[in-house]
Amino acid sequence: MTQTEAFLTATEESEIVEAIRIAELNTSGEIRVHIEEFSETPPMARAIEVFDQLKMYKTKARNGVLFYVNVRQKSFAVIGDKGINKKVSANFWDSTKELVLENFKQNLYKKGLIEGITEAGKQLKSYFPYQKNDTNELSNEISKG
């Protein structure tokens, strides 16, 4: 079993996917989680690469959000697409990052991701409110590398 496979149980992954679904009821923003065992690329730079690989820019409002986790290094990044970055301040993701990192320091990975996802949904609501005709433009499933 790889470190990526051992990082979360199947039940924990399901709970995270459900947290994404619920968070997206607050916003038209699209949230994804990507977990990989290791990358030598710094977390923020790697998150940008993964964002592109997952084609997360293919949302109408360019409002995709990626939570990236490097399991071996226990590193993390959260990034938003251009549509979000045009509307929010530079420190927009700070509270979300802090929630996740505080939990990660205690090895509470599922809890950290769920709290971060929930916070992201709340924060995005004022900029990208949920629309009645909203469609799920990106998969809620956790991707792995």
Hey, what domains does the chain have and what are their CATH numbers?
3-144 (3.10.310.50)
pLDDT in tens, 92-106: 999 999 999 999 999
Q: Averaged over 119-144, what is the pLDDT?
A: 94
What is the per-residue pLDDT for 6? 87
Q: What is the largest CA-CA distance in the chain?
A: 42
Q: Averaged over 38-60, what is the pLDDT?
A: 97
3-class secondary structure per residue, 18-84: HHHHHHCCCECCEEEEEEECCCCCCHHHHHHHHHHHCCCCCCCCCCEEEEEEECCCCEEEEEECHHH
What is the per-residue pLDDT for 13? 97
Torsion angle of C-alpha atoms 21, 25, 28, 33, degrees rounded to 10? -20
What is the per-residue pLDDT for 133? 87
Q: What angle do CA 64, 25, 16 make, to 5 degrees?
A: 70
Per-residue pLDDT at 1 exceeds 80? no
In this prediction, residue 39 has a pLDDT band, given cuts at 50, 70 and 90, of very high
